[in-house]
Structure 1
Amino acid sequence: EMDAYASGQWRRFRAFCVLNFDDPSDMVRRLGKKVEIEQRRSGPQVLQGGPDVWAVTLEQFTESVRALGWSSGYEDIIFPAMNVHDKEAISVEDLKWLEMEQRRQKRKELAKKKALQENHKRNKDVHIKGREACLADFKNYLRRKYGSFLRAWFKALSPDGAMILHRSEIFKACAHLGWPGDVRLLFSAFDKDNSGYVSIEELDARAAELLAHFHDFIMSKFGNASAAFKAFDRYNQKKLKQHEFISQVKSHGFEHPAKLLFHGLDRKEMKAVMMDDLLFLDRWKPPAFLTRTANPQAMEEFKALLVRNYKNFLKAWRHCLDQDSSNRCNFDEFDAACQKLKFKGDIAGAWRALDEDLSGYITLQEIDPASSSALANFRRWCDEEFGSVRSAFSVFDNSGDNEVNYREWRRSLRFYGFEGDASTLFYALDVERSGTLTLQEVEFLDEWIFPGANTTQ
């Protein structure tokens, strides 16, 4: 807190010493020189001991650590920090901290080894990247084969017009398509909100948005799909070619891209849309947010209600929005949370303001970017230094009582080199305001999927 840069240099020097020296005796022997008996008797009383006494002066220290690879400087500050008795040279007695540092390092390495053996985090990162690559490959395959996601949905994935597909239906569709990828991995990539099914908005949110606008247009203007088709089919030809379809929907007030819509609805690739191609609209109830515009005011009202009920965003996120600890909340879960909170505002508008990219889900990042960033950085640091958050907590919990108080937390983070704000992080995690953290209050971070996957400090 007094000098963050000096603190960082001291921490790096301690790590340097752990890597380069076996113990305090090894350190003084490699950095300094043996003090002769005559020198100790006649000269200044640098230190006490037998004939084989070694000491390190500032000049020797500076020259030797640089020769060993220390390149961060600050020798004129580090040396006095070790020379607590203000002598001309330092000895083994001044370096007892190295033994403690080595014990800490050994404990950390053992915890990290155990965490990696359990594959706590590494495999999950690989799985995330594999899912994303699998989904991208499948989408490219559909786009090449069908030209648009709308046509792919109606022609290949859901020829009966269903707007959600369960796991078995996805498997059958992929087999029929002849797509050679991993279908199980594909389904997990699609089902980011853990709903157990895939909807058209999870395939392509913008296509779903267009279709939802068309649904609302049909229902508000004509009441049902049959009546709409009859109104468009002025010459009773039982089909609508592209120019007729575009002309008719626009003449009745549809203001969205009609050509793209036609291409998607022409599932039989006959360059015409039949009545049957529209009947799914009567059965479909598109999510309200697809046709709603973002309402930033409603979003702020919702967030204010969260704070009033839960005191802080992280507690609200974990107890109200993200009850399965996935760090993802879909619209259905959001709507349920609004009902629980008795939110009377524009629910769909608030959702669109939060889900700006129409991904179909939100994370803590959209609710509280500061807390999300702090937690992501902490999780990344724990993964790198200890192998997992659970493993890090086991190191912090010296007493083994499954509790770490604020003082222990702050000291541990400082000792092991966390450069973030330990205080902010502690109070973000201490959602119950008990003044202590338990393993159960932090281990959820190991399972969270943060936006961008690769977090940076």
Structure 2
Amino acid sequence: MPEGGRRKSALLEEQNQQLKKAKERHALNAALAERGGGLLLRGWRRELDPDGSMDVPYKELDWHLRRLGLELSAKTIVDKDAEEISLEELSPADGHLVNRIRNWIKDAFGSPANMWTVIDVNQAGNLDREGWVAACMSSGFEGTAEELSYLFDFIDIDESGQVNKEEVLFLERDSQERDKAIFEEKMKSRGQMQRLWASVYWSELHKKQSPLSRLAPRPWLATSFESLPPLVIVKRQHRLREVRNRQQEAKTLFLQSLSQKYGSCARAWRRGIDTDGKFCIDKLILRNFCRRHELDTDVHIQSLWSSLDSDKDGKVCLQDVSPLGAVALASFRAWCRQKCGSCRAVWYLEDLVNARSRPQKDGMVQMHSDKKMLICNFTESLKVLGCKCKGDQAEMLSALDFFNAGFISEADLCWLDAWEPPLFLTAQPSEEEWASFKSALLERYGSPLNAWRQLDLDGQNEVSWMEFVAGCRRMRFKGDTGAAWRYIDNDASGYISMEEFSRDHYKVLMSFKQWASGLYGSVASAFKNFDKEGDGTLTLSILRRSCQKGKWDGDPQTLFDCVGASNCKDPSKKLITIDDVSFLDVWPDREERPDEGKEQEDTLTRTTEKEERIVLQSKSAATLDVFSRLYTPRYRKKIAKNIDASPTAYPVEKAAQIQRTYHCCSLPPQRRPKTAQSMLPIMERIHQISAFYREREANS
């Protein structure tokens, strides 16, 4: 065949292939339009391109053709040497329109997610056809309303008449960003659905309906609902709350037992807990003490240790068991060292020597001894010497009175010499030092909450003395750290909270925490319910609207200013994230406290004699006169009790026991006939056996 004929035949064959390709593409377009309800774009996305990549691989196209029932071949539809076919190749006009809106979104907004934030002005979560067209036209789209309406049908593949954010995200050009955005939006929708289910289950669970009611939650559904992440968070918060309550209960029972058995917590520390005089114990010593006194049956040891070891250093000290008593002992020790170098040297001061040289008398007790000194004479001598101690001075005197008999000896003062108290116990409170430290902290970190969280690094709303010192070092504070600490820690508890740092902000935060926990289960769950967009941020308007809808009686403006970033100059651009508020879930619940003044007096009046020591220990020493308190009839009766004595012992017998213990010469001891009760246990047993045999011989 001539060369011209061959060339003509090749051209005819190529034209035939192009005609066949056009016919098959036309047949495919017709099939897609039929599947799309008369629209090619909707059929393309429904049948060939659900992920919005705008192209179909060659291998997948054959499978789609067979699934659609078309007797077509992918080889004919797809160009030679091409691995895929795009929408623009199949329908150039439609592909060009889609590329136009994609480029417009990229240039004007950066991403479809940002575009949705702008066009969804009412934050309804969806737009109808008119709203979509009007929003795009007002945002600067260069096209006609008919084109936007056609694109609306392209986006609304389920023909619901509305489009949402997830359906618009496929217009992202970058495939990786598109897949990531669609996945995140699906997870957000799933999270919103889970929170809805959890909220309904939570509300139905707390209606306290009868189990037989048809509206009551069914037991076989409880496992599925309680495994939802929002309810898992709620259960975790409840466990934390139970742990704190258990710790508080264990500490209260422990201190009550100490006061009941030893008369005071300070004496219990010296006589029962720290018998070696090391002024610190570990967990094993505490456990052994509780077992010896049979406290392990009522007190949870692990919870007790956690409550006493507030700074988590692995040891418990005197100030953890008796805070105000430790303050008084440290203050008295500092005065002794300033006065004459040591506590032992105070024993040999002229005033105390003269007081011991005279006959000492206190009620029925009268003695002549230069080795012991009655508490009343000791306190009177200290008053003459000008000793003024802070803290609970009755706890101090009870710690020095080792035997709970109303006497102090030189050994008691030597015991106090062996103690090296922490700096904050001996420091003088200074409001100026605290004001200087707080102003420096606020100047550096802005808001009070941000400043507090720089001290409270673990987020437990408790800053111990060691954490406070570390914070001062980070700030390079050059003032008196101990004086600043003692001013804010006026109850000598060993730690401070946000309530002591900034009471007003603490009240707002705890009010919001209690409201959010009661309504949504936790603060984090409440934030996610407020965040309808799912972008992890809230504006002031959204927060205010959500709080008003939930009937929170607090001030959203104050809350927003408290937790938000303080370095944002433009208030309209100020946002808060979930990390700004979720820390409140870890904070302990606020404890309701009685008002000061008359309420405290009524509480003191209503307390029993057993509880009086605990109540008085918790009060500030500035409001109590220690000397009048020590020598009231009630307290003197309490001083006369020994921890090993029977509660029905008579004062005369107690006075005689004191005389024998300290070799005093006062009232003549009353002689009693020797009986089995006054002997050793083995002698008591022998006496019973002898009585038995004597009775048996008499009967025989």
Shorter-normalised TM range: 0.5 to 0.7
Partner of 2:387: 254
SS in 1 for 2:551: coil
Partner of 1:444: 583
Partner of 1:12: none
**CA shift for structure 1 position 154:** 0.2
Task: Work out the CA distance in 2 between the residues paired with 1:227 and 1:200.
Answer: 23
Instruction: Map 1:216-231; keep pairs closer than 5 Å.
Output: 216-231=334-349
Partner of 1:202: 320
Residues 247 and 407 of structure 1: is their aligned pair in 2 closer, same or farther, counting only changes over 3 Å?
Answer: closer
Coordinate RMSD, CA, aligned:
3.3
Partner of 1:375: 509
**CA shift for structure 1 position 199:** 2.5
**CA shift for structure 1 position 330:** 2.1
**CA shift for structure 1 position 379:** 0.6
Instruction: Map 1:227-376; keep pairs closer than 5 Å.
Output: 227-231=345-349, 239-242=371-374, 245-246=378-379, 249-250=382-383, 252-256=385-389, 261-269=396-404, 272-319=407-454, 321-376=455-510
Residues 440 and 261 of structure 1: is their aligned pair in 2 closer, same or farther, counting only changes over 3 Å?
Answer: closer
Task: Work out the CA distance in 2 between the residues paired with 1:132 and 1:333.
Answer: 22
Task: Work out the CA distance in 1 between the residues paired with 2:334 and 2:589.
Answer: 35
The letter of the residue matching 1:137 is L
1:429 aligns with 2:519: no
2:325·2:393 contact (CA, 8 Å) conserved in 1? no
**CA shift for structure 1 position 252:** 4.3
2:449·2:563 contact (CA, 8 Å) conserved in 1? yes
Comparing 218-227 and 109-118, the one that deviates more:
109-118
The letter of the residue matching 1:165 is I
**Which residue, out of 276, 279, 282, partners 1:163?**
279
TM-score by structure 2 length?
0.45
The letter of the residue matching 2:586 is E
The letter of the residue matching 2:537 is E
The letter of the residue matching 2:334 is D
Partner of 2:245: 129
Comparing 113-122 and 444-453, the one that deviates more:
113-122
1:191 aligns with 2:299: no
The letter of the residue matching 2:439 is A
1:246·1:259 contact (CA, 8 Å) conserved in 2? no
Comparing 200-209 and 293-302, the one that deviates more:
293-302
SS in 1 for 2:281: strand
Task: Work out the CA distance in 1 between the residues paired with 2:464 and 2:248.
Answer: 19
**CA shift for structure 1 position 393:** 2.1
Partner of 2:199: 109
1:212 aligns with 2:351: no
Gaps of 5+ in 1: 1-101
**CA shift for structure 1 position 328:** 1.1
The letter of the residue matching 1:396 is F
Residues 281 and 240 of structure 1: is their aligned pair in 2 closer, same or farther, counting only changes over 3 Å?
Answer: same
Task: Report how many aligned residue pairs link the two structures.
Answer: 352
1:111·1:395 contact (CA, 8 Å) conserved in 2? no
Task: Work out the CA distance in 2 between the residues paired with 1:205 and 1:422.
Answer: 38
Structure number with larger C-alpha Rg: 2
SS in 2 for 1:279: helix
1:108·1:395 contact (CA, 8 Å) conserved in 2? no
Residues 247 and 406 of structure 1: is their aligned pair in 2 closer, same or farther, counting only changes over 3 Å?
Answer: closer
Comparing 397-406 and 102-111, the one that deviates more:
102-111
Instruction: Map 1:403-414; keep pairs closer than 5 Å.
Output: 403-414=537-548
Comparing 235-244 and 150-159, the one that deviates more:
235-244
SS in 2 for 1:327: coil
**CA shift for structure 1 position 142:** 0.9
2:273·2:289 contact (CA, 8 Å) conserved in 1? yes
Partner of 2:20: none
The letter of the residue matching 2:274 is S
**CA shift for structure 1 position 260:** 5.5
Partner of 1:96: none
SS in 2 for 1:336: helix
The letter of the residue matching 1:166 is D
SS in 2 for 1:395: helix
Task: Work out the CA distance in 1 between the residues paired with 2:471 and 2:513.
Answer: 27
1:241·1:272 contact (CA, 8 Å) conserved in 2? yes
Partner of 2:294: 178
Task: Work out the CA distance in 2 between the residues paired with 1:262 and 1:444.
Answer: 43
Deviations 1:223-276 (A, max 9, x none): 234444455668898833325644654554433487754432233457654544
1:314·1:429 contact (CA, 8 Å) conserved in 2? yes
Partner of 1:141: 257
Residues 157 and 364 of structure 1: is their aligned pair in 2 closer, same or farther, counting only changes over 3 Å?
Answer: same
Partner of 2:127: none
1:393 aligns with 2:527: yes
SS in 2 for 1:383: helix
SS in 1 for 2:278: coil
The letter of the residue matching 1:254 is C
2:266·2:321 contact (CA, 8 Å) conserved in 1? no
**CA shift for structure 1 position 132:** 2.2
Task: Work out the CA distance in 1 between the residues paired with 2:194 and 2:288.
Answer: 54
Partner of 2:603: none
Give the % identical residues.
28
Gaps of 5+ in 2: 1-191, 203-225, 358-368, 569-573, 594-700
Task: Work out the CA distance in 2 between the residues paired with 1:263 and 1:413.
Answer: 53
Instruction: Map 1:24-63; keep pairs closer than 5 Å.
Output: none
The letter of the residue matching 2:325 is A
